[in-house]
Structure 1
Amino acid sequence: MGFFFFKRFSEEDKKLLKNLKLILDFKPKILELYKVVFTHASVGRNTKNNERLEFVGDSVMGLIITDILYNKFPKADEGRLSILRASIVSRQSLNVLGENLGLDQLVDYKNTSGNEIKNLSGNALEAMVGAIYFDRGYHSAKKFVEKLVYENFDLEKLLEQNKDYKSKLLQLIQKFKLNITFNTYENMESNEKNQHFLCELCLDDRFLAEGKAWTKKEAEQKASKQALKKLSHLRLN
């Protein structure tokens, strides 16, 4: 005769499971992982916090979104896809997504600064993706992220908006107070095989990027696109 043992959940565990049921479309296998998701580092040194899961979730989420964009936009080049991905995983976007899921209401924290409080939901979201990855694998993490992306972003519209590389570069210049100069002039050596306008961008008087095109506007867009790729470590949000 076999014996069946049922795990008894505490009232706190039951409450967590109830909240997770509203967020996930599956029942967690390793509940302890999700407890860590909602534990901020400010709670105490001797308590597991969500920073390591956040680290993993950041990478997993980036890979999943790369996968989504690569397959959805087969004709988009690497530069446009990189900028589109950056706008989706920006700190501001992650915070909004986390708040939409109600994650900020579930995080346990103490005596944190204004910026840390503002980013609680976004950090918890990345930690959640990390927890799902360890608990149920990449496929489940991908389903979770895909649902978030398609329910909250109009990807076609975002891709069109991200065509204006010069505007994005100007925003970056303003935010980080960069000393970038645009030098656009007619290419005197141009012929039928060469582009007519040349735009050179310099950062602190050092060459940063260039773009060649038949129009001044397009040359500036091409140069701005190359500059954004080189400055991809800087985020607008």
Structure 2
Amino acid sequence: MASFKNIFNSRAPKDEDFFLALNKLLGFKPKNIAIYEEAFTHRSTNEKSAEGHAQNYERMEFLGDAMLSSVIAAHLFNEVPGGNEGYLTKMRSKVVSREHLNELGRDLQLINHVKTTIPISQFGGNIHGNVFEALVGAIFLDRGYKYCEKFINKRVIKPYVDIEKLEGKIISYKSLFIEWCQKHKMQFKFAVYEDTGNDTLKHFAVKLHLDDKIVGKARATSKKKAEETAAKRAYYKLQTEIEKDF
């Protein structure tokens, strides 16, 4: 096996910086740096292996998602012995939600290491969570389950997983609002329309109707985001009534 010095000296200056940053990020020395390079490579580079397979973070993202779910599930199973399947599933979903994974990726500034031909400013918010999942997948491939578990425990569980706080965390305001309306048999409607305005990117505006009243409004670059934000605003407007049921 090559020594640390030989690995370090065999790389270009930019790669040396990546190796050192990676070593600090992981808390241990990576064995196969090429795996991590792929985990930080965006599909826009169009890189391929000798066999012609695409080499970017998407496959590792899939693997990392599975590893995260596995480690978090085991942690919750041990920490909450009285939790039933439904409770544990809901709690795990809160930990590995897209919003939370994006937060993790941003906190670790992973996007600074992404190899891409597209300006970083043009990426959506999910790039942060996608790369975080890919990094977890790369750790599993490079060092196995134990190191993967150690990393998730250090970077996810210890700083972010508080059972009491998670119980009160809302993943989707839209889902919660719909569930509340259905429970009380109230009529609601998300009225969506394109709203370009003076923005460079196309925007969508949403008005959330509850019976005959507008209880939330929002604008965003996608219908999904606009509806979620409108539901969130409606939730805080009707919080006292909604929380009686949850």
TM-score normalised by L of structure 2: 0.63
Q: Percent identity?
A: 31
Which deviations, in whole Å up to 9, do the C-alpha atoms of 1:116-142 show, x marking residues without a partner? 431122111100110000100000000
Residue ranges of structure 2 left out of the alignment (5+ in a row): 49-53, 186-241
Letter in 1 for 2:136: V
What is residue 148 of structure 2 aligned with on the other side? 141
Q: Is the 8 A contact 1:38 1:107 kept in 2?
A: yes
Q: Deviation at 1:146?
A: 0.8
Q: Which moved more, 1:152-161 or 1:44-53?
A: 152-161
Q: Deviation at 1:152?
A: 2.8
What is residue 228 of structure 2 aligned with on the other side? none
Selected match of 2:101 from 64, 82, 94: 94
What is residue 26 of structure 2 aligned with on the other side? 24
Query: 1:26/1:79 Cα in 2 relative to 1: closer, same or farther (>3 Å)?
Result: same
Structure 1 runs, 4 residues or longer, greater than 4 Å off? 112-116, 167-170, 177-180
What is residue 182 of structure 2 aligned with on the other side? 181
1:52 equivalent to 2:59? Answer yes
Separation in 2, partners of 1:123, 1:169: 19
1:79 equivalent to 2:86? Answer yes
Letter in 2 for 1:10: A
Letter in 1 for 2:71: I
Separation in 1, partners of 2:78, 2:157: 14
Q: Deviation at 1:105?
A: 1.2
Q: Deviation at 1:10?
A: 2.1
What is residue 124 of structure 1 aligned with on the other side? 131
What is residue 196 of structure 1 aligned with on the other side? none
Q: Deviation at 1:100?
A: 1.0
Report SS of the residue matched to 2:183.
Answer: strand
The answer to which structure, 1 or 2, has the higher relative contact order (CA under 8 A, 6+ apart) is 1
Q: Deviation at 1:156?
A: 2.3
Query: Which protein shows a greater Rg?
Result: 1
What is residue 213 of structure 1 aligned with on the other side? none
Q: Deviation at 1:157?
A: 2.0
Query: 1:135/1:65 Cα in 2 relative to 1: closer, same or farther (>3 Å)?
Result: same
1:172 equivalent to 2:175? Answer yes
Which deviations, in whole Å up to 9, do the C-alpha atoms of 1:153-207 show, x marking residues without a partner? 2422234316xxxx87863155xx78962269xxxxxxxxxxxxxxxxxxxxxxx
Q: Is the 8 A contact 1:80 1:159 kept in 2?
A: no
Separation in 2, partners of 1:114, 1:6: 36
Aligned length: 180
Separation in 1, partners of 2:166, 2:84: 11
Which deviations, in whole Å up to 9, do the C-alpha atoms of 1:209-232 show, x marking residues without a partner? xxxxxxxx9xx65xxxxxxxxxxx
Separation in 2, partners of 1:68, 1:60: 12
Residue ranges of structure 1 left out of the alignment (5+ in a row): 185-216, 222-237
1:38 equivalent to 2:40? Answer yes
Q: Is the 8 A contact 2:91 2:167 kept in 1?
A: no
Q: Is the 8 A contact 2:39 2:135 kept in 1?
A: yes
